[in-house]
Amino acid sequence: MNENGITVRNKKIAVLPGDGIGPEIVREALKVLKAVEQVFGHRFDTGTYPVGGCAHDLCGSCLPEETLEACKCADAVLLGAVGGPKWDALPGEERPERALLGLRGGLGLFANLRPAKIWPSLKGASPLKPEIVSGGIDILVVRELTGGIYFGAHRRSADGKSACDEMVYSDSEVERIAKVAFECAKSRGKKVTSVDKANVLESSRLWRAIVGRVSKEYPDVVLDHMYVDNAAMQLVRDPARFDVLLTENMFGDILSDEASQITGSIGMLPSASLRLDGFGMYEPIHGSAPDIAGKNIANPLATILSVAMMLRSTFSLHREADAVEEAVSKVLDSGLRTSDLAAPGASIVGTAQMGDAVTEAVLKMVK
Ligand code: NAD
């Protein structure tokens, strides 16, 4: 039971381990989820389903109908990663990465949340100068996921000499993602920086007008607008100035990768793709890392932190989410590292040992 007297029972999580390191890191995240159940008295029903290249091998489709249906019937989805060289020769529409688009579209996930923060004990891992990161970085990128140029018409002229990609946004699409950003900012640093290219693009002028209108419903949250080229520059010049970064689809694709890199560790960054009813798909931002698959050296923390996001965003279990994040912080403070974060003086452990350490830290938490 949590502090609000809520005990979660009969909530379904569809687990999609996927390819490469996916099964290894998801296994560790599920260990931590079990520890949360034990400490706080919840019970989640988890079912595992194939996705990606392994699903193609199994039944000829990277996103089998049964998997999509199971996700639709669940309250949340936990995804590892998909893809790998074994399936690179498949035609475009059959490739494992297509499963991600199928899941996002099929589940109506329009809001992508990517926190990019530097853990105090990992400041040395950032590629930025120490004086830039000394005050800490804690940015939440809120990216619109189902509109914009990726979903507009893509055309090539008959002679093949010119091409066109349409960027379309409706006011309702901008409004719903803006509300997500302002709601997030309310419980963080109370600042939204909305990114656009309103000096050039008509869709950005609409974006800016709607975001400005939505901001009036959130008087406690400060809004500023920034052109995307300036935002790209400020992310490396002065990242501490950002709290919530609100962007359309393509700008967010680029800026969220940049934001994640300044924290220095791809194996540490979780993400959530959400819709309005609280349903979400949670996954690490990295891929299936085929180069290290099966070696027990992958960092499971991004997937474990994705479980924390799931507990907070889909199940409103804030104390439990805090407990998982605190456990990760304690383990890092104790000097344990997977090899991607190797540093002088660190104790290098494998994937399973890192998962065990976080599980132990959660189990030690007082209810
Ligand atoms: P990648 O993120 O898998 O790996 C990039 C580098 O980071 C590799 O050196 C890898 O070893 C390392 N790395 C990644 N995650 C790590 C972790 N948890 N711990 C330690 N090191 C880690 O990107 P890639 O190599 O470009 O892609 C590999 C495959 O993954 C491709 O098939 C790609 O299409 C797919 N991919 C899938 C997703 C997804 O499922 N969401 C996202 C990106 C890429």
What pLDDT score was predicted for residue 263? 86
Give 284 Cα–ligand 1 centroid separation in angstroms: 10
What pLDDT score was predicted for residue 5? 66
Give 305 Cα–ligand 1 centroid separation in angstroms: 17
Structure pTM? Answer: 0.93
Domains and CATH numbers, the chain: 1-115+269-367 (3.40.718.10), 127-262 (3.40.718.10)
Partner residues linked to 348 by β-bridges: 337
The tokens for 285 are 């931002």
What pLDDT score was predicted for residue 367? 57
**Closest ligand 1 atom to 339 CA:** 20
Residue minimizing CA distance to atom 20 of ligand 1: 298
Q: Which of 316, 324, 287, 332 is nearest to 75 (CA)?
A: 316
Separation of alpha carbons 51 and 6, rounded Å = 32
Any ligand 1 atom below 6 A from CB of 298: yes
Residue 8 has pLDDT above 90, yes or no: no
pLDDT band, residue 151 (cuts 50/70/90): confident
Per-residue pLDDT tens over the stretch 219-241: 999 999 999 999 999 999 999 99
Amino acid code (one letter) for 54: C
What pLDDT score was predicted for residue 3? 58
Q: Which of 11, 93, 24 is nearest to 60 (CA)?
A: 93
Q: Rounded mean pLDDT of 349-353?
A: 98
Per-residue pLDDT tens over the stretch 241-256: 999 999 999 999 999 8
CA distances from 204 to 199, 226, 247, 282, 339 (A): 8, 11, 10, 29, 42
pLDDT band, residue 54 (cuts 50/70/90): very high
pLDDT band, residue 258 (cuts 50/70/90): very high
pLDDT band, residue 344 (cuts 50/70/90): confident
